[in-house]
Amino acid sequence: MTTFDLVIRLTYLAVATCFVLGLHLMNSPATARRGNTLSAAAMTVALLATAVVLVRTGTVRPWAWAALAAGAALGSAAGLLLARRVPMTAMPQLVSLFNAVGGGAAALIGVHDHARHGASLPVVLEVLIGAVTFTGSLIAAGKLQGVLPGRPLLFPGARLLTGALALTMVTASILLFTGGGDAAFVVLAVAAAAFGISMVAPIGGADMPVVISLLNAFTGTAVAMAGFTLGNSVLITAGALVGASGAILTKLMADAMNRSLTAIVAGGFGGGDGPAEAASAQGRVRSLSADDAAIQLAYAADVVVIPGYGLAAAQAQHQLHELAELLRQRGARVRYAVHPVAGRMPGHMNVLLAEAGVPYEQLADLDEANAAMPRTDVALVVGANDVVNPAARRPGTAVSGMPIIDADRAKSVIVIKRSMGHGYAGIDNELYTGPRTGMYFADARRALSEITAAVKTLVG
């Protein structure tokens, strides 16, 4: 090993260490930003070191330098623009898009490696996983953005097609190792890309947090495989870290919905984002006015807010925070109970609340919130549905066994919702017809503004 090699390798080791430390610092909101900055600084060093390697070999052709510079400039500009502009409510689809291009880059490196060194197990995995992630993440982003319908897209024979594609990938891989050459490689890449589409298309919007985590884990693994083929340790370490993080989050999300990963990937569960038709139970529902809700809230000593996707869709996080602050000024204790799968990405709701300025000390997790529920005067449910459905405590329903926030155990419940439409699970919510529940039918943003105004005028 020359001195130069040694310096580069030590640099990579330091970079890998900083990635680990950066992720470690993410375990507290107070240090998380520092962790991200450390990780970004390490990334810069790793890229500079790699550029130095390139310069030193002296074999990079001028056109390759130009292609590299132009590509990096274009990609950086696009990434920067999107990262700055996109609203917090659209974060899941943006992360999914960044994940897609990362997977795509890994797959393209696989194409290069195959052309250069021929087939090997890491090359096959790199192309396979990278291509699946690329198309799969694009479909997920399209669904979240509403470009594609959020409901499961299933057609007769869809499962058969997915199965056939999987078989094609295996066959093409075997052919590749037994001297199939470029044709087998092309078939493998195309089948993997098609598989990504056919895997994610049948998965409904409610399962997106799990899918995004899973695809994130895939990209990490694909990048690690690229590290194997390029003989670069920092790619292996970083890829494996991301693979592990994706795997853990996937498991946490699946547990939070009490569904197996196989059931989620099999897809076909739940409906779309659009307002569903009115449910049959409408007759027994007690409807509230803004004044009713305002009086209840203004005289409550202990309020728990349960935000759901409806809040995100209406972008009403600022209105919610304003109402909560008003109640706090009147001496009420206000807490937010956030279900792990509320929103469309793990922890998405926390980001929205943070954007509105809710201090994280006011956030309660599932167990904490449920323990305090019987002492809660008002549970204010804003656009959440399945995660507060008491039917989950009984066997034999679509949501059975899913951990829920026990809103029905509060002394009274106010639900803000556009209609009696169903959640993703597509079943009636018994909370809405409960004896202590009042429903306020409106868009979350308008409803919260009206209640805030009513609190101010009624009890000023």
Partner 1 sequence: MNALLFTDLSVFVLSLLLGFEVIGRVPTTLHTPLMSAANAVHGIVLAGALLIALTADGVLGYALVFVTAAFAAMNVVGGYVVTDRMLEMFRPRKDTR
CB of 343 to partner 1, least distance (A): 8
Report yes or no: 349 and 342 within 8 Å, Cβ to Cβ: yes
Residue 142 in contact with partner 1, rule: CB under 8 A:
no
Per-residue interface string for the shown chain with partner 1, residues 19-38, x marking contact by CB under 8 A: xx-xxx-xxxxx-xx-xxx-
Q: Which stretch binds partner 1 (CB under 8 A): 13-21, 171-179, 276-284, 415-423?
A: 13-21
Q: Which of residues 304-363 bind partner 1 (CB under 8 A)?
A: 325, 328, 338, 340, 345-348, 350-351, 354-355, 357, 359-360, 363
**Cα gap 460→458, rounded to integer Å:** 6
Among 14, 43, 175, 266, interactor with partner 1 by CB under 8 A: 43
Tokens of residue 59, six digits: 């074999």
Among 245, 315, 412, 419, interactor with partner 1 by CB under 8 A: 245
DSSP state of 118: -
Residue 4 in contact with partner 1, rule: CB under 8 A:
no
**Counting Cβ atoms within 10 Å, is residue 240 exposed (0-12), middle (13-18) or buried (19+)?**
middle
Q: Which of residues 355-384 bind partner 1 (CB under 8 A)?
A: 355, 357, 359-360, 363, 365
**CA proximity to 216, closest of 277, 132, 90:** 132
Characterize 372-400 residue by residue with b for buried, 16 or more Cβ atoms within 10 angstroms of its Cβ, and e for exposed.
bbeebbbbbbbbbbbbbbbbbbeeebbbe
Catalytic residue among 207, 386, 406, 408: 386
Residue 252 in contact with partner 1, rule: CB under 8 A:
yes
Q: Which of residues 212-241 bind partner 1 (CB under 8 A)?
A: 212-213, 216, 219-220, 223-224, 226-228, 230-241
Residue 74 in contact with partner 1, rule: CB under 8 A:
yes
CB of 308 to partner 1, least distance (A): 15
Residue 6 in contact with partner 1, rule: CB under 8 A:
no
Closer of 19 and 440 to partner 1 (Cβ): 19
Among 40, 147, 174, 453, interactor with partner 1 by CB under 8 A: 40
**Cα gap 269→4, rounded to integer Å:** 55
**CA proximity to 310, closest of 423, 412, 151, 149:** 423
Tokens of residue 382, six digits: 């804003």
Closer of 16 and 314 to partner 1 (Cβ): 16
Instruction: Give SS3 for 364.
Output: strand
Residue 105 in contact with partner 1, rule: CB under 8 A:
yes
**Catalytic (active site) residue 428:** no
Sequential DSSP letters for 315-341: T-HHHHHHHHHHHHHTT-EEEEE--TT
Residues noted as catalytic: 386
